[in-house]
Structure 1
């Protein structure tokens, strides 16, 4: 955890390297914000994955109850048409999560880290640290 210094400036880990422009700080801030949005999207994708899996298992109860109610045809339709069904052709939700992680999320996070290292010496959240400093009363 970092702390502010008595002089009101951000701690050294959150100070821009010498010569780094305002625009470069702003650009890394925008990139960081985009990554944070992607993190949220990824969380929703995991929610989709878990909720879809839960719904699939809940179908078992519907099948059981329909059979118990003397409705074997309806139970069988659910079992054959819905239980274990692909959400997109050839894919269950875990495969969508894997494709998103491998094809989008990981390259996104890696590029954000690479550019933060290259442009800011690995110092993260410079834009936010400076915003915090400006907004203090």
Structure 2
């Protein structure tokens, strides 16, 4: 695989299984990155929605419905999304208990098995699938 740049070339002596394992764990991390993004989106949507309740409470008071304003203000506004937690705490707990250790483990596995190189599996797949000599299929930029 001589066309691969050194950042993506398989180190000497690394097995197919090691490349596959690091590639699969990296792919798994990419999925978790997407899940983390959805969690941050949830956090921002919850915060924005909760802030909208200020307007609801004000409008109900202006409309002479203090009992509804009070109910929403005490029952819903500022309510925990999970027991004892606002959404920012859910995000922090996810980062600390799952995402951080996974990211660290993925990096450590790559360091140990493929010299820290990223996307070795994908780079080799690119080599196998590209049309050599075609201008839109070059190995590197």
Question: TM over 0.5: same fold?
Answer: yes
Aligned residues: 131
The answer (yes or no) to whether the contact 1:8–1:133 under 8 Å persists in 2 is no
Match runs of 1:109-124 below 5 Å: 109-124=103-118
The list of structure 1 runs, each at least 4 consecutive aligned residues, that deviate by more than 3 angstroms after superposition, is none
The answer (yes or no) to whether the contact 1:32–1:112 under 8 Å persists in 2 is yes
Which ranges of structure 1 fall in alignment gaps of 5 or more residues?
1-6
Residue aligning to 2:64: 70
> Aligned partners of 1:89 and 1:35: how far apart in 2?
28
Which ranges of structure 2 fall in alignment gaps of 5 or more residues?
132-141
Match runs of 1:122-137 below 5 Å: 122-137=116-131
Q: Aligned with 2:110: secondary structure?
A: helix
Structure with higher helix content: 1
> Aligned partners of 1:11 and 1:90: how far apart in 2?
50
Residue aligning to 2:44: 50
Residue 13 of structure 1 is aligned with which of 7, 18, 28?
A: 7
The answer (yes or no) to whether the contact 1:25–1:127 under 8 Å persists in 2 is yes
TM (norm. structure 2) is: 0.89
Q: Aligned with 2:10: secondary structure?
A: coil
The CA RMSD measured in Å over matched residues stands at: 1.2
Deviation of 1:8 after TM superposition, in Å, equals 6.6
> Aligned partners of 2:72 and 2:129: how far apart in 1?
58
CA deviations over 1:80-124 (Å, ceiling 9, x no partner): 000100111111111111110000000000000001000001111
